[in-house]
Amino acid sequence: MKIFLTFLAGVLVGIAGHWYFTQPRGQANLADAESRMREGASHVGRSLSDTFSSENLKDEMARTGKVIREKSQQAGAAIADATANARTTAAVKSKLVQDSGLAAFKIDVDTTEGVVTLSGTVATHEEIARAMKIAWDTEGVHKVVSTLQVKPK
């Protein structure tokens, strides 16, 4: 019986999806999305062709000899920094949530180049100390800044 009901629900969802996408409104939405995607891709293509024209590259390479290499290294470093910051923020927030004595959802965590900033409110000064210790004990953290405010319950 469960299998039959599941099959029936799947058929109904399939019919509803087919109906939605065959309606003029659904087709118009798809066509609109397709045209916006094509315009965006075209814009990116034009921008890249302007930026990476062979004449511009030849001139730039003749002047400096390593501009392209430096730009890609800077982009790679920026991406690596952003992912490291996000990973550190997630790790600290996860540890705060695991500590049942902290109201972790009232504590905001922000990371920039290994500097973790804690903001929000807690009930006691001990909670500030505990939150700072948790952040400090997280890999990738070089400094912890707390702007946490004590607001008793």
pLDDT tens for 18-52 read 666 666 655 566 666 677 777 776 666 665 555 55
pLDDT digits (tens, 9 = 90+) for 66-111: 544 445 555 566 566 678 888 889 899 989 888 888 887 889 999 8
Average pLDDT over residues 4-21: 74
Which residue range(s) make up the domain with 37?
1-51
43 belongs to a structural domain? yes
Q: Helix (H, G, I), strand (E, B), or coil: what is residue 102? A: coil
- Rounded distance, CA 143 to CA 111, Å? 10
The Cα 127–Cα 106 span in angstroms is 12
More confident site: 15 or 150: 150
Asked whether residue 15 is assigned to any structural domain, the reply reads: yes
* Domain assignment present for 45: yes
Number of domains in the chain: 1
Residue 57 lies in a domain: no
Residue 24 falls inside a structural domain:
yes
Q: Is residue 30 domain-resident? A: yes
